[in-house]
Amino acid sequence: MADLVVAGAGMAGLVAAVEARSRGADVVVHEKGDRPGGSMRLSSGVVWRHRRLADFRRECPDGDPELQGLVHERLDDDLEWLQGLGARVSSRATGNPRTTGLRLDTRSLTHTLAERAGRVLLRTPLVELPEGVPTILATGGFPADRELVRVHITPQADALFLRATPWSTGDGFRLGLLAGGSASAGLAEFYGRAMPAPPARVAEPGFVPLAQLYARYAQVESPTGERYESSAWSEIDVVQWLARQPRARATFRVRASHLGQRVGDRTIGEMIDAAERAGGDVSRRNGSIAVDVVAGITTTLGGLRVDRSAHVTGHVWAAGGDVGGIATGGYASGLAAALVLGRIAAAAALESR
């Protein structure tokens, strides 16, 4: 019998398995999908923290201060650890002056971690908790589960665009609750992006380049004429508002004079051109450009409640998107939380034996 069972071969699960193996443990990783990496592999790979803990607290005021403190304190060392394993850094800047961290090449990261994680059983979801064996739930939350999204986030669940791996359907959340764990704060919150609405065709390689991240320069209007003014740099507020509009849609209208404006590493004009090339509904008239967008869900921010050793209950620990209550009220790096809590969960689960 293994010393540790891990559910999910994404960021948190692979990190936990590598950490546990470095401590001499025999680990089995169950993976529901046909490849390792989860949403981590599809992501931009920016693993970041706010520069000051006070900014993290201010931007995510309803999150658990203890868990926020852990992520903040440990991230730099954990990034060193990842680099030491061989994960390739594509940039030492996050592209955002408010934050610090690294951009990692996600293929290299997945390969590096999967190679060191030991037994990774693909297409083998964890469906029940093994008796008496310490288990880490790292299944990536519930963005891909229409029913949980409908119950906790929006009645427009069917209209949302899934900008994440299709396998994160809340298995860890359900297993943790069944075992006697409890839910965190913020179950209604999620991180995502406005994406070009159908008829645009958006496949996995388009998740990052097709994101429409310029609501703060646009007039944002729902199909019923409701307007929204974005106030968060991450635009997480807009996408959460969008998710609750009819068919989770709105129009972003920008003046042509704004097309050269940079947001991160792209201009607004480049984002709109990309939407148009993907078949999105883009109309250019009288010096303004209108783009139809839909809410894209990437990660859920609510999940299982854990303590500072990532403990859920009994012989169950959790990390990554299965843990809620860290970024509540705002937005923080999911990869950073998965990295830090993944290592903590592995150490704590092994110590419990």
Ligand X SMILES: Cc1cc2nc3c(=O)[nH]c(=O)nc-3n(C[C@H](O)[C@H](O)[C@H](O)COP(=O)(O)OP(=O)(O)OC[C@H]3O[C@@H](n4cnc5c(N)ncnc54)[C@H](O)[C@@H]3O)c2cc1C
| Stretch 155-174 residues interacting with ligand X (CB under 6 A) | 163-165, 167-168, 171
* Binding of residue 321 to ligand X (CB under 6 A): yes
Closest by alpha carbon to 236, among 165, 188, 276, 183? 188
Residue type, 1: M
Scan for tokens 């540790």, then name that residue. 4
Of the two residues 149 and 335, which places its CB atom closer to ligand X in the complex?
335
* Binding of residue 63 to ligand X (CB under 6 A): no
* Binding of residue 39 to ligand X (CB under 6 A): yes
Closest by alpha carbon to 170, among 305, 319, 322, 316? 322
- How many residues bind ligand X (CB under 6 A)? The answer is 42
* Binding of residue 72 to ligand X (CB under 6 A): no
* Binding of residue 333 to ligand X (CB under 6 A): yes
- From CA 157, how far away is CA 162, in angstroms rounded? 10
Q: Helix, strand or coil for residue 117?
A: coil
Site string for ligand X, 104-143 (x = CB under 6 A): ---------------------xx-----------xxx---
- From CA 190, how far away is CA 194, in angstroms rounded? 12
| 66 φ, ψ (degrees, to nearest 5) | -70, -45
Q: Which of 68, 299, 300, 328 binds ligand X (CB under 6 A)?
A: 299
- From CA 65, how far away is CA 67, in angstroms rounded? 6
Residue 234 DSSP code: T
* Binding of residue 145 to ligand X (CB under 6 A): no
Q: Which stretch binds ligand X (CB under 6 A): 145-153, 221-229, 263-271, 329-337?
A: 329-337
User: Where on the chain is the footprint of ligand X (CB under 6 A)?
Assistant: 7-13, 30-33, 38-40, 42-47, 125-126, 138-140, 163-165, 167-168, 171, 207-208, 298-299, 320-321, 333-336, 338
